[in-house]
Each structure stands twice: as structure tokens, then as C-alpha cells.
Amino acid sequence: MNAQSQSWFSNNPLIQKLNATTGLTETEQQAILQLPHVIREFQADEAIAEIGDRPSVCSIMLEGWACRYKMVAEDSRQIMSFHLAGDIVDVQSVFLKTMDHSIAALTPLKLALVQHRDVHELLRRLPGISVAFWRDALVESAIFREWLVGIGRRTAHQRIAHVLCEMATKARVVGLNDGYTFPWPITQTELADALGLSSVHVNRVIGDLKGWGLVTFSRKTFVADDWKGLKALAQFDPDYLHLDPRVAA
């Protein structure tokens, strides 16, 4: 119950992320580092939680990528979010018993599992952390809303550009992005399932973005060749991420 790891102590990505919206005191950071937890590794495509499950732990991402999704039919999936280091992938389960959607690994990944009761205890003991968790959950809500706007009202080109801007920004917060480059393990099919498009169309649109000199993809890496152009196309305004001005673009 107290297995430890490199990525929990050095540069803990949860602290890094919470700091980006809230700012934590030294005490609060220590309390997070001292949370009893177990590190668990997953393979790509492995299920982290499935619809109908009643988890007793919640999962903090340390490395890798994951997504939330729901199946609509045998062959129709809607991905509702992508997650990387620092995300608490199922805070939901701390308060609502049953999972109403599934979560799966997109790449090999590493999670810290924390018992629900320890989370409850942490939130009760340190109101500052409670506020940080609230903010984090509300920002996630804001991201869902932004995706809603995208799927509902933006063209395929804007949608794809927008999600790239969003992930680039989220990656920067946890130090995975040097400004123009970051790891991009998402397949075009996955992107399609996230944006309500077909993989064929995603492929064509990405072709356009490349052709217009906005982006490049090489070896699972995303390169923003023209970050300003990409943001302009997407009409990307990061306000909804509620980042500390020091961290924001």
C-alpha cells in the first residue's frame, strides 16, 4: 500500500497540474506526496475502468495517455476526453458509485492508485486541496463543454486544430511540450472518435493542415510549424482551461 516511485516524488505531475490552476502551499504538496498509493502499469488498450464498474480506488496518471469513451453501437465509439500525466482520471468515482463510461489506456501507462477513503480524508483535512480538486473537476467540465462547442458548431478543420491546440497547452503545463513539439500517440481513428468524424475525413483534413504548413507529425511526435496560424484557424482561446496567467500561452 505504500509502494513508491520516481515519478511520484520527483516532479509529481498532479502537483504540477494543480499548481497551474490553484497554487498549493508546502503543507498541501507534502500531503499529496504522502498519500498512500500503489503504482500500477497498464499496456496500450488495456481497460482502466469500465462502464458499470464500482471502483474503490481513484487513479492519478503519472505517464502515458488514456481516454474516456462510451460505445453507442458495436462499431461506434465516442471518445470524450484524452488524459495525460497529472490527470485524475476518475475523481468521479470518489463521489458517484457507478462508472457511467469507460476509461482505457491509449499507450502503455503508469497510474498511482489511491483509496477513495484516503481521498475523502485528504479533502476533509485540507480545505486548500479540496478547492484545488474542485477547480480541477470544474476545468474538466469546461473542457467537455468546449468539445461540445467544437463538435456542435466548428468545421472539421477547426475541430482538429482546436484539439491539437488544447492538448499542446495541457502538455505544456506538465512539461511535455517545449513550445512547438510534444509526443502525439493518438491515431487518426482515435481522433475521429473524439471529434465525431470518420477516420477517412480526419486523414484528409490532417493532410490539409500539413499542406498549409501548420503542422507536421513525425514518429508519434506533433510539431506545430505555425503555432499562431494553428491557433488562428482553431480560434483557440485557452481561457476555458483556467490556467494561472504565468503558465498560460
User: Is 145 a residue that touches a second copy (CB under 8 A)?
Assistant: yes
Amino acid type, 237: D
Select from a second copy, DNA, none the partner in contact with residue 1, using the beta carbon and a kind-dependent cut-off of 5 to 8 Å.
Answer: none
Select from DNA, a second copy, none the partner in contact with residue 189, using the beta carbon and a kind-dependent cut-off of 5 to 8 Å.
Answer: DNA
Hey, is 40 helix, strand or coil?
strand
H-only helix segments in the chain: 6-9, 13-21, 26-33, 92-95, 116-125, 127-153, 156-173, 188-195, 199-211, 227-234
C-alpha cell at 181: 513539439
Tally of CA atoms within 13 A in the half-sphere of 199 that contains its CB: 10
Contact 128, 21 (CB under 8 A): no
User: Is 187 a residue that touches DNA (CB under 7 A)?
Assistant: yes
Least Cα distance to 32 among 128, 111, 109, 104 occurs for 128
User: Is 71 a residue that touches DNA (CB under 7 A)?
Assistant: no
Task: Name which of 5 and 189 has its Cβ closer to DNA.
Answer: 189
User: Is 107 a residue that touches DNA (CB under 7 A)?
Assistant: no
Q: How many of the other CB atoms lie within 10 Å of CB of 60?
A: 27
Sign of CA dihedral 216, 221, 226, 228: positive
Q: How many of the other CB atoms lie within 10 Å of CB of 151?
A: 14
Q: Rule CB under 8 A: which of 72-101 touch a second copy?
A: 72, 76-78, 80, 91-92, 94-96, 98, 100-101
User: Is 108 a residue that touches DNA (CB under 7 A)?
Assistant: no
| Binding residue (CB under 8 A) for a second copy from 137, 223, 247, 249 | 137
Select from a second copy, DNA, none the partner in contact with residue 100, using the beta carbon and a kind-dependent cut-off of 5 to 8 Å.
Answer: a second copy
Select from DNA, a second copy, none the partner in contact with residue 2, using the beta carbon and a kind-dependent cut-off of 5 to 8 Å.
Answer: none
Site string for a second copy, 216-245 (x = CB under 8 A): -------------------x---xx-x---
| Binding residue (CB under 8 A) for a second copy from 127, 175, 179, 213 | 127
| Binding residue (CB under 7 A) for DNA from 206, 214, 224, 234 | 206
User: Is 222 a residue that touches DNA (CB under 7 A)?
Assistant: no
User: Is 157 a residue that touches DNA (CB under 7 A)?
Assistant: yes
Contact 171, 65 (CB under 8 A): no
Return the ∠ at Cα 151 (arms to 227 and 213), rounded to 5°: 25
**Side-by-side strand order, sheet with 109-115:** 38-42, 109-115, 57-63
Residues near DNA (CB under 7 A) are: 155-157, 187-189, 196-201, 203-204, 206-207, 219
Contact residues for a second copy, defined by CB under 8 A = 68, 70, 72, 76-78, 80, 91-92, 94-96, 98, 100-101, 124, 127, 130-131, 134-135, 137-142, 144-145, 147-149, 151-154, 195-196, 235, 239-240, 242
